[in-house]
Chains A and B, each alone.
Chain A
Amino acid sequence: MMDERGAKRIDLGRGIGWRPELAHSIERRAGLGFIEVVAENISPESVPRAIERLRERGAQVIAHGVTLSLGGAQLPDPRRLARLARISERLNAPFVSEHMAFVRAGGMESGHLLPLERTRESLDILVENVLAAKAALPVPLALENIASLFEWPAAEMDEATFISEALERTDTMLLLDVSNLYANARNHAWDAIDFLRRVPLERLAYVHIAGGITRRGLYHDTHAHAIPEGALNLLEELSALAPLPGVMLERDDHFPDETELALELDAIADAVYRGARRRESYVRTCA
């Protein structure tokens, strides 16, 4: 399917973030259209057999980077980019994804995705870095929104504006993390549905959703707990606004057993379905 900009839109279906601890459950789950692998954790020379078996069954594999530091002060490291390019070619990935964040500065690693200043200056640097990354990658790049418990002072624009401008100026796709959106909207007291209406959903590559927990009044996006109802509701709202090319669960710790995992995947599918029904009935009403 081609969209109006001539870009290839790929229907991925339901997916999950591949982790060695989940490999067995993932293999036994029928009907997964795609998996996402953390590019830094996989060597292009020795791709785990379990991933190859999923590919043989027709699952698409997306390479997800976490260390490019696209919002950082330095241009992305050519060696990291070359490795990401190799892994995406090795897995025949339809695209590569990374974050609108930084992970290192002043020679220090933070070990985490940290938020960017929402200023013109910081946006210009992100755009320049993303364009450099795009030029070095053999497949399209999708950019993900992150969650942060705190914000930089003196923001010049809100998150929807910052993200929309970054995507338009770099002509990249959006990896929308519904749970990160839920977390930020809740922790910083703004309207998540307004955000969904303002970002370019026609650029949507796929969607992340994950669990978290509330501690001392702040919502922590842990990827180690159940998906909160609020995030599932937001997924439904998103699905009511636009067709979703792919939705996947991220789980990184306190790995659930197969039943719990199946329930989470079903809850995701239900939310997407409810939203799609609303969108279709709205389209019919208008026609």
Chain B
Amino acid sequence: MSEPARNRINQAQAALVGALAAADPAIEGFDLFRLREAAGALLSKRARAVAQSWPRLAGALGHDYQEQFRRYAMSAPLPRAGPMADGRAFASALEKQGLLPEQARLEILAFDARHRIRDGRITERRLYFGTIFSRNPPRAIIAFRLPGLGERWIRLWS
């Protein structure tokens, strides 16, 4: 198969993937109503997969989950590493906006103490140090990972 044909197909398919991930998926020659329905179904599927992988985060957001996830997903491409990585990126986006619920932090710390996301893959960490400090509820939690020692958690108060 010729390279030009593969390039042409790549461009056409990339335009479709991009359109389906956008808030308003218009693309020439396609039925707009059907593309919108497909984009909506894709977003629901993505949100459901993240909620299953990050139950505390989804639970803490409650009724806001769908809307917050939709906002994040519109500007964040689907990560190659799947729903765990997608949920971690969603949590980072919430944190940047000061919208991350306190109840979700433990789940995030537990993930970070074990994993890192690099080059589209989730890998095991060898070294980690992370903390959660909060006034309400009052608590301090330290998690770390060291070679030979493995993972340790320390709860300082509350």
Within 8 A of A (CB), among B4-35: 5-14, 16-18, 20-21, 29-31, 34-35
Residue of A nearest to B25 (CB): A150
Is B150 positioned at the interface, with any CB of A under 8 Å from its CB?
no
Instruction: Report the minimum CB–CB distance from B73 to chain A (whole Å).
Output: 10
Query: Which residues of B are found within 8 Å of A110, using beta-carbon distances?
Result: 17, 20-21, 42, 78
* Per-residue interface assignment for chain B, residues 49 to 93, with 1 indicating a CB less than 8 Å from any chain A CB and 0 otherwise: 100000000000000000000000000011110000000000000
- Whether A121 contacts B9 in the complex (CB less than 8 A), given A149-B41, A150-B35, A220-B41, comes out as yes
Inter-chain CA distance A100–B45, complex, in Å, is 20
Q: Is the CB of B1 within 8 A of A72?
A: no
Within 8 A of B (CB), among A90-113: 102, 104-112
Is A153 positioned at the interface, with any CB of B under 8 Å from its CB?
yes
Is B132 positioned at the interface, with any CB of A under 8 Å from its CB?
no
Query: Which residues of A are found within 8 Å of B6, using beta-carbon distances?
Result: 73-74, 125
Main secondary structure on B side of the interface with A: helix
Q: Is the CB of B1 within 8 A of A105?
A: no
* Per-residue interface assignment for chain A, residues 208 to 225, with 1 indicating a CB less than 8 Å from any chain B CB and 0 otherwise: 000000011010100000
Query: Which residues of B are found within 8 Å of A114, using beta-carbon distances?
Result: 13, 16-17, 20
Within 8 A of B (CB), among A111-127: 111-112, 114, 117, 121-122, 124-125
Inter-chain CA distance A153–B27, complex, in Å, is 11
Inter-chain CA distance A151–B33, complex, in Å, is 12
Query: Which residues of A are found within 8 Å of B30, using beta-carbon distances?
Result: 150, 152-153
Inter-chain CA distance A112–B135, complex, in Å, is 42
Contact of A121 among B8, B34, B46 (CB under 8 A): B8
Contact of B45 among A107, A111, A125, A128 (CB under 8 A): A111
Residue of A nearest to B29 (CB): A153
Inter-chain CA distance A128–B41, complex, in Å, is 31
Inter-chain CA distance A128–B3, complex, in Å, is 12
Within 8 A of A (CB), among B130-150: none
Q: Is the CB of B37 within 8 A of A108?
A: no
Q: Show the binding face of A for B, using Cβ within 8 Å.
A: 72-74, 102, 104-112, 114, 117, 121-122, 124-125, 128, 148-154, 215-216, 218, 220, 253
- A–B Cβ pairs within 8 angstroms, 29 of them: A72-B13, A73-B6, A73-B9, A73-B13, A104-B17, A105-B10, A105-B14, A105-B16, A106-B10, A110-B21, A110-B78, A111-B78, A112-B42, A114-B16, A114-B20, A117-B12, A149-B34, A149-B37, A150-B30, A150-B31, A150-B34, A150-B35, A152-B30, A153-B30, A154-B29, A215-B37, A216-B37, A220-B37, A253-B48
